[in-house]
Structure 1
Amino acid sequence: MTTTAQGPIPTSMRASVLLEQGVIEMQERPVPTPGDGEVLVRVGSVGVCGSDVHYYKHGRIGDMVVTAPIVLGHEVSGTVVGVGRGVSEDRVGDRVALDPQVPCRQCRQCKTGRSNLCPFMEFYATPPFDGTFCDYVTAPADQAFTVPDSLSDESAALLEPLSVGLWAAHKADVGPGDQVLIAGAGPIGAMCAQAVRARGVTDVVVTDFVDSRRERITSFGASRSLHPVADAAEIAEIRADAFIDCSGATPAVVSGIRSTRGGGTVVLVGLGAEEMPLPVQLIATREINVTGVFRYVDTWPRGIALTTSGAVHLDDMVTARYPLEQVEDALNADSDPLSMKAVVVVNPSQD
């Protein structure tokens, strides 16, 4: 393999490591070497995802369990500083956003366009694979998407959660003239609202219990926001073309299904209880399509185009920034109801 760089690449780097549930430690680790078809990326910014928080606070998400020290973080941007064999040295210096998925590319799911469901997936910060709260990472060259200089490092990193919203909007299959109901006005709810707006939907109703979130969500795609209890009667009258749940709360899911028109679509994004009772007779008699979202497929080019054009706003979602040494504070930022999106600035831009 060959490695090139603009300036020397150090042999060691900083890494913020989750040792066990609730315990973070800064460590010095070797800088990884890019393999065949890979690039070495100097990490710029990393967004904090709810999954990172869950691993930190609970040590697991469903059957994905932290059993050994792991580096968290998967919403990442940076700069290519080295390449492996088979990758053009012209890529050195590219500012990139990384798709954190590494599917096998050989199984039936991969071969039929469902690579996000690859049973052999390697995904940043999902046990046992390390993530990006560190100075350098490697990635397949075709998963490192070049971003224009008009996009900040933070916007480039947040293309990952935007991808969740874009995939949810794709699964909802909505467009101009449709109405969309979204439960949850947090970061993913805001990404979904912006994503359906980008598909031409103008009637986007978002529900949330938190006053500050309901007030803020109208800046991120919602045409109006409602309180799940105080506005329950109004919500019950809605017959949305699609309902997208970003809360994972059983009452929200059931309410949303009841507010979906016949032949409409329910998209489950939030992960709550492993099992929940659903109004199956209503689902059957209304012929409601119920589906889920697990990651995404081929969303980065679309996300870059939408963000560059101004159709989607990501920088405005950032409410707190932390250096790498304060990852633990970043993981606790969601305790503030005014927080929307925390970002870890690993290596500030040189610009």
Structure 2
Amino acid sequence: MRAVTCRATELRVEELPEPRPERGQLLIDVLRCGICGSDLHARHHSDELADITARVGYDGVFRSSDSVVFGHEFVGEVVEVGPKCTGRMRSGTRVVSFPLLRRDGAVHLTGLSPFAPGGYAERTLVEESLSFAVPNGLPDDAAALTEPMAVGLHAVRRSEIGRGQVAVVIGCGPVGLAVISMLKATGVRTVIASDFSSGRRALARACGADEVVDPAADSPFESSARAGHLTAAPDVFELAVGTMEKLRRLPFVPWERIWRVADRVGLAEPKRPVVFECVGVPGVIDDLMAQAPIFSRIVVVGVCMEPDRIRPAMGINKEIDLRFVLGYTPLEFRDALHLLADGKVDAEPIVTGRVGLGGVETAFDALADADRHAKILVDPRSEATAPAPVGATT
């Protein structure tokens, strides 16, 4: 079986032994596999990633001395059903799978562990219990985006954003585009997207962003005052004094009773935007804490693999809510698949190219050009050694 391996940052196509499904597992032919930003990071920062995951009790992430097959965003066709399966996924069924695999009594991260090879390969193993049949004839390219779309859906749900709140998405790479898509799919009315790349700003618009901003020219928070967000400490002071002046003038009803009622129905809190940090480079979180309106919630979706610094006093003085998110639940994975299949999320703009196994290294390099590429898919049956435009035959 042909697969792309990574060892000591070097990517190469190799012949590997054919995988065999164990209890409760399926063997699938990989039809498409997305190249994720976490793969790009892990290629060069695997030891740091392994150290961090070890601190939370998981020692299975590969190190630079290990050989790993990347790829956790895949769609495939079942070719063999392992023992003790339920029979729900028969041979020939197209499936997407939650990227976890049980091996030797432990559960491992598919595509990031040498114990769970991923989808940069002709075939890979998945758990039947974590696999979902692709519905409604959803094309392979779109089905392969189930995993990144689940990341976006999880970020939106964890943000607890209301439909009437303003969402500000910083960074319009694949993660930011998934967040934008899911914000609109879940009914958020105002989504502002910010990216230095004109190409990615165009993709953000195609994914449903209501306003796109070049941060080199304008601030994504320019309209905050018009939206009723508080942008300076004197605004907060005036709100407190002005509110109490009005409440104290009311006859018969104690002011604190009115305040408590307003608090219970959510009317006592000032308006606040929800900011999604989807860049993942040092300095961005601190910069957003300084720029965002007072009381903002910042949801960190981008993965920064380097040490970073923030000013806690800035967060305290602005009462910033800083929230970190990771991954998704099986239900969110399923829901992302069905949002794609039902046409409620249009993934077409995100896919900008395809390569075969022999073109993976070239694709890694191509993804550095933000104006040309967002998501490149690996098609193990393709001979393309450079990213072929979507729609081209390979």
Given the two structures, how large is their TM-score scaled by the length of structure 2?
Answer: 0.75
Whichever structure has more strand as a proportion of its residues is 1
Which position in structure 2 is the counterpart of 1:97?
A: 96
Of residues 284, 301, 313 in structure 2, which corresponds to 1:269?
301
Give the Å deviation of 1:304.
1.6
Give 1:175's match in structure 2, choosing from 144, 162, 166: 162
Pairs within 5 Å for 1:1-351: 13-21=1-9, 23-57=10-44, 60=47, 62=49, 63=51, 65-92=63-90, 93-102=92-101, 121-129=107-115, 130-232=117-219, 234-235=221-222, 237=224, 239=229, 240-261=272-293, 263-272=295-304, 274-298=306-330, 299-336=332-369, 337-347=371-381
1:276 alignment partner, SS class = coil
Distance 2:311 2:186 in 1: 29
Q: How many Å separate the matches in 2 of 1:166 and 1:24?
A: 31
Question: Alpha-carbon deviations, 1:246-281, whole Å to 9, x = none?
Answer: 112344323433455555422111122644333423
**Change beyond 3 A, Cα 1:139–1:28:** same
Q: Is the 8 A contact 1:242 1:266 kept in 2?
A: yes
CA positional deviation for 1:173: 0.9
Gaps of 5+ in 1: 1-12, 107-119
161-170 or 331-340, larger mean C-alpha shift: 331-340
**Residues 222 and 328 of structure 1: is their aligned pair in 2 closer, same or farther, counting only changes over 3 Å?**
same
Q: Percent identity?
A: 28
Q: Matches of 2:220 and 2:203 in 1, distance apart?
A: 23
Unaligned runs of 5+ residues in structure 2 are 52-60, 230-271, 383-394
| One-letter code aligned to 2:365 | N
The amino acid of 1:193's aligned partner reads: I
For 2:101 and 2:221, the matched residues in 1 are separated by 44
Q: Report how many residues are paired.
A: 321
One-letter amino acid of the structure 1 residue matched with residue 275 of structure 2: F
Residues of 2 paired with 1:257 and 1:91: CA distance? 47
The alpha carbon displacement at 1:282 in A equals 4.1
Distance in 1 (alpha carbons) for counterparts of 2:148 and 2:167: 19
1:17 offset after TM fit, Å?
1.3
Distance 1:83 1:226 in 2: 49
Task: Give the C-alpha shift of residue 234 in structure 1.
Answer: 4.6
Following TM superposition, by how much is the alpha carbon of 1:178 offset from its aligned partner in structure 2, in angstroms?
A: 1.2
Once residues 310 and 222 of structure 2 are traced to their aligned partners in structure 1, the CA distance between those partners, rounded to angstroms, is: 18
Query: For the residues of structure 2 that align with 1:68 and 1:325, how far apart are their CA atoms?
Result: 21
Task: Report the RMSD for the aligned CA atoms in angstroms.
Answer: 2.5
Contact 2:194 2:220 in 1 (8 A): no
Taking structure 1 as the reference length, the TM-score comes to 0.83
